Structure 1
C-alpha cells in the first residue's frame, strides 16, 4: 500500500506541475498554422527530450548531490520554493516566467526550447524529479521514471488532440483547471519545504 501511495503521490505531483491541459493550450498556440503531421512529430520529439531530461536527473540525482555537496533537505526546501512560486502564479492566472515561451522560435528548435525546456521540464519539474527519486532503494527512482513516462504519454495524446480538446473545454474551463493545478502545486511546494525544513532541523540536533 505504501508503494501504491507513493506512485499516486508522484503521478499527481508531476501531473500538477506539468499541467497537460494548460500546456496543450500553450502547444497549440506555439504551433499555430503548423500541419497536423508536423505537429504530431513535434509533440513526440519534445516529450522524448523532456523524458530524457527527467530520467537523467532521476538517475544521477544522488551523484549530483555528492558532487556539488547538495543535501536532500536543501533540495526539498529549494524545490518547494520553486514549485510554490509556479503554483502561486498559476493560481492567480499568470504565466510563470519559468514556463515562458517565445513564438519566434524556429520550428526545428521548438521541440527543445521552449517546449521541452523550460515549459515541460522546467526547474520545478527537475527539482521534483530529483526529490522523488532521492529516497532509499531503487523503487523511488523507478516510480519516478515510470510515472513520468506515463504522464508524457498522456501529454502526447493531449498535444495530438489539442485543437479538439481546446474547442470542447473552452477558455474559461481551461483557466479554472489551471488555477486548480496552481493550488495543488502550491500545496505540494509547501509540503516539500516543510519536509526539507524538518529534515534540516533534525540534522542539526545533537
Structure 2
C-alpha cells in the first residue's frame, strides 16, 4: 500500500465532500425528521456516494477513452473545477439546493452532488490514473474519507451547536484554502503535460 497516495486521496476526497460545510444543508434538508430517520438518510447517502466514486474510479478511464479525452485535459479541467469550488468556499458562498416533494434526499442532493460531486468524481479518476500501481491505496483513501464524512454528517446537530455559525465559516474557509492549493497542483501538472 502506498501511504502517500492514500493520504493524498483521503485529504482530497474529505475536503471535497466538505462534511462540516454541508452539515447546515443537511440540517435544513432533514428538518422535522426524527434522529433515527436522519441517521438512515446519512447512511444511505454515504453508501450511494461511495458506490458512485468507486464506479468512476474504476470505469472512468473507459469513459475517457470512449470520448477521446486525455488525462492531461482532465487534469486541467479538474483543477479549474476544484479552484472554482475552493473560491466559493473561501468567499463563504453556500448554495442550498431546492428539494422537490417526493424526492429521496439521501440520493439527491445529499449523495449527489453534495458528497460525491463532479469535482470529487474527477479527482478520484485522476488519482487512479496517476497511481496505476496503487489503486488499492486510492480505494482505501476514498472509503476512509467517506467514512469520516459519514461520521461528521451524522453528528451535524451536535457540531452545529458546538462550533456555531462562525466556526463553520472558519472551517469551510480553511478547507477551501487547502482545496485551492490542491487545484493548482492538479491543473499545473495537466498544463505541463499538454504544452511542455
Counterpart among 163, 167, 176 of residue 173 in structure 1: 167
Distance 2:131 2:173 in 1: 34
User: Structure 1: any 5+ residue segments left out of the alignment?
Assistant: none
**Structure of greater relative contact order (alpha carbons < 8 Å, 6+ residues apart):** 2
TM-score, length-scaled by structure 1:
0.89
The one-character-per-residue Cα deviations of 1:78-108 (angstroms, maximum 9, x if unpaired) are 0000000000011010126xxx5124453x5
Q: Which residue of 2 aligns with 1:146?
A: 140
Q: Which residue of 1 aligns with 2:121?
A: 126
Distance 2:68 2:152 in 1: 39
TM-score, length-scaled by structure 2:
0.94
- Contact (CA 8 Å) 2:3, 2:137: kept in 1 or not? no
Q: Which residue of 2 aligns with 1:14?
A: 13
Q: Which residue of 1 aligns with 2:93?
A: 94
User: Structure 2: any 5+ residue segments left out of the alignment?
Assistant: none
Out of 148-157 and 37-46, give the one that drifted further: 148-157
Distance 1:63 1:128 in 2: 16
Instruction: Give the ranges of 4+ consecutive aligned residues of structure 1 lying more than 4 Å apart after TM superposition.
Output: none
Distance 1:103 1:65 in 2: 32
Distance 1:105 1:89 in 2: 28
SS at match of 2:2: helix
Out of 3-12 and 121-130, give the one that drifted further: 3-12
The one-character-per-residue Cα deviations of 1:60-85 (angstroms, maximum 9, x if unpaired) are 12211211111000000000000000
